[in-house]
Amino acid sequence: MKYDLLKTVEQGGCSSKISPKLLEEVLKDLPLPADPDILVDIATHDDAGVYRLDDKTALVLTTDFFPPVCSDPFEFGEIAAANSLSDVYAMGGKPILALNIMMFPSSDLPVEVYRDILNGGYSKTEEAGVRIIGGHSIDDATPKYGLAVIGIVNPGRVITNAGAVPGDILILTKPLGTGIIMAAQRMAMASDSEIRNALDMMKSLNNSAAEVMQNNGVRAATDITGFGLAGHALKMARASDVTIEIIVNDLPLLDGAYRMADEGCLPGASFRNLDYVEKDLFSGEDIDYNLRMLSFDAQTSGGILMCVSESISKVLLAQLITGGCPDSAIIGKVIKRGDSHIILK
C-alpha cells in the first residue's frame, strides 16, 4: 500500500522556505571568516560556498532539504536529491559526494516510507554520478529529506551570482510554475498530466546546463528555487550591482500554470517573495498580473538563470535546447544599474 506523503504537510518543497526578507535580517550581522581560499561565502547569498584547495581544484559545498512536495516517497527522494545537487551545478561545479539528511516521524509512518525516500535519493544521485557515503537522521513530526553535497570546480572557472554585467542576455533553462501546480493539486485544480509534467521537470538534473555554461565561459548564474525567479534575480542584481530586466511574456511556463494562476491559485510563498522584491522592483501598469505573480512563484528544483554574452546567446541557447534543456528561453537582459534592481516589463 502506497502512503501519501502530502497528508503530512501543509506546504512542501522549496515553498516551505522562510521569507527571504527574514533570512536576510538573520544573516546580516553574522561574522564572515577571513580566509583567502574562501572564494564564495554567504556575503552575496550565492547558491553554495566555494573553497580553494589548490590552483586546480576548489570544493563546492551546499546543503538543502525540505518537506514532501509530492505523494510518492520514492519520487520525493528523487526531487529532493535533484534540488540539492542543483546548487553545485549553478556554480559550474561537478557534484561528487553527498550525505543524506532525514527527518522522519518513526512512530507515525511505516519504515518502508523511510526506505523509499532514501532509495529515491540514491537513484537520482546514481544518475548524477554522485556517491552517497553517509548521513544523519532525527525523529521529527514532519518528514523532511535532502542532501549535503560536495562538488569540485576549477577555481578560475567558478560561476557566481555576482558576475552579471550590462549587456548580458538572460536565459532560463526550466519552465516556471511548480509552486502553483503543487498548490493546485491539493485543491483539485490540476489535471494528472499537468501534475506529472511538473514532477518530471522537478526530477530533471541541471547537469546539462552546467556543462553548457562551462563550455561557453559563462560567469554569472543562479538556480531558481524557493524565492522565485524575481527573488533570485534580485540577489544576482544586488551582488553584481546591475539592474535585471525580465520580459514576462517570454517566460517559459509549465502546462496549466497560467490557467491556475488566473483561477486564483496563488500560494502564500508567492506573496512572501513579492514582499521581498517589491521595494527594488519596477513593473509597468499594463503588465499581465498572472505572469507577474508567476515570476514570484516558489520553484522546487527549478532551472538555472544564466547571464550570457549577447554574442554567444543564440548559439548557447541552441546548445541548451538540443542538449537536455528543451524549455530554455531568453527572458530578458542585464542593464546598467538604475533606480530599481528588477524591472518586469
**Catalytic residue (choose from 14, 70, 265, 325):** 14
How is residue 345 written as a grid cell?
516589463
What helix, strand, coil percent values describe the chain, rounded to 5?
A: 40, 25, 35
| Matching residue, cell 507515525 | 108
How is residue 133 written as a grid cell?
557515503
Is 307 annotated in the active site?
A: no
Who's near 315: CB < 8 A, 6+ residues apart? 216
Pairing of strands 131-139, 94-104: parallel
Q: What angle do CA 176, 174, 17 make, to 5 degrees?
A: 55
The Cα-based distances of 174 to 67, 190, 204, 225, 273 in angstroms read: 22, 19, 10, 11, 19
246 phi, psi to nearest 5 deg: -110, 130
Is the CB of residue 242 less than 8 Å from the CB of residue 337? Answer: yes
Residue 219 to residue 120: CA distance in whole angstroms: 32
Closest C-alpha among 150, 9, 149, 172 to residue 76 = 9
Residue 125 to residue 132: CA distance in whole angstroms: 7
Q: Which residues are catalytic?
A: 14
